Structure 1
Amino acid sequence: MATAGERLKVRSADGAAIIDLPSEVDATTETVLRDAYVEAAAATRTIAFNFGGVEYINSTGIAVIVGILARARADGHVVRAFGLSDHYREIFEITRLSDFMAIFPSESSALGPR
């Protein structure tokens, strides 16, 4: 789990910045997740979140994601997500987070034609 003082991996692929999320997205990862967004946003307009390793997201984690989506929208960035478990995909659909970021089953599909 990433904690304060650590950094999340931000990598580049096909003109997008990919943020590999930690296993837990909660209050302990808020700062590193926001910092990763800032790093990614400085590099490109398209940002993809890799949820493949995420095992737990609590309400604070959802709030952090919502905040990043709002900032991305204001900044004119495109946000995509991939690797969500069926459970979290359903939560993102119920909470309508999927209205603000496209959700894909894999990295290759998320980085496909824009």
Structure 2
Amino acid sequence: MTTREAVARVRRREGVAVIELIGDLNAAAEPALDEAWTAATSERPEAVVLSFENSGYINSTGIALVVGLLASARTHRIPIRAYGLSDHYREIFEITRLADFMAIEDDEDSAVQRAVQGAGGDGNG
């Protein structure tokens, strides 16, 4: 299996930080993900949206990296939403109960709109 180096790009939409994950989420992705998380949360966004649209393979270490983001988000009361997961990974996120801690949306517009709508509440999106 060919691996694709992970890249994480941050952009902002309507007060929400969108982290676009590109490539495979594995141990090698940690520096890119950490740097993107720091950049995304530096301006205290209303929420963070993770885009898995262009991500490839996600192994157990990649799942652990996502869990780490969820833990940091919870500590800082930043809601997280995700979109772009394949049916396979969406099912894995549901089985591992990651979906209990972040809303999984069908597309970026839905994720951002719901994040903005939820920002007026208790901070749990």
Would you say same fold, with TM above 0.5? yes
Corresponding position of 1:65: 66
Work out the CA distance in 1 between the residues paired with 2:102 and 2:25: 17
1:84 corresponds to: 85
Matched, 1:96 2:97: yes
Aligned to 1:103, the other structure's residue is in SS state strand
- CA-CA distance at 1:42 after TM superposition: 1.2
State how far apart, in whole Å, the 1-side matches of 2:5 and 2:8 are.
Answer: 7
- Give unmatched runs, 5+ long, in structure 2: 119-125
How many residues are paired up?
A: 111
Conserved? CA contact 1:45–1:76, under 8 Å: no
1:21 and 2:18 matched: no
Equivalent position SS for 1:111: helix
| Partners of 1:42 and 1:57 in 2: CA distance | 26
Please say if residues 18 and 40 of structure 1, whose CA atoms lie closer than 8 Å, have aligned partners that are also in contact: yes
Inter-partner Cα distance in structure 2 for 1:21 and 1:82: 11
Using the size of structure 1 for normalisation, the TM-score is 0.91
- 2:9 partner letter: K
Higher strand share: 2
Q: How much does 1:24 deviate?
A: 0.4
Deviates more, 1:79-88 or 1:34-43: 34-43
Rg comparison, structure with higher value: 2
Runs of 4+ in structure 1 over 3 Å off? none
RMSD of aligned alpha carbons: 1.2
Identity over the aligned pairs, expressed in percent?
Answer: 46
TM-score (norm 2): 0.84
In structure 1, stretches of 5+ residues that fail to align are: none
Work out the CA distance in 1 between the residues paired with 2:41 and 2:81. 13
For residues 48 and 97 of structure 1, what CA distance do their matches in structure 2 show? 14
Q: Are residues 1:54 and 2:55 paired?
A: yes
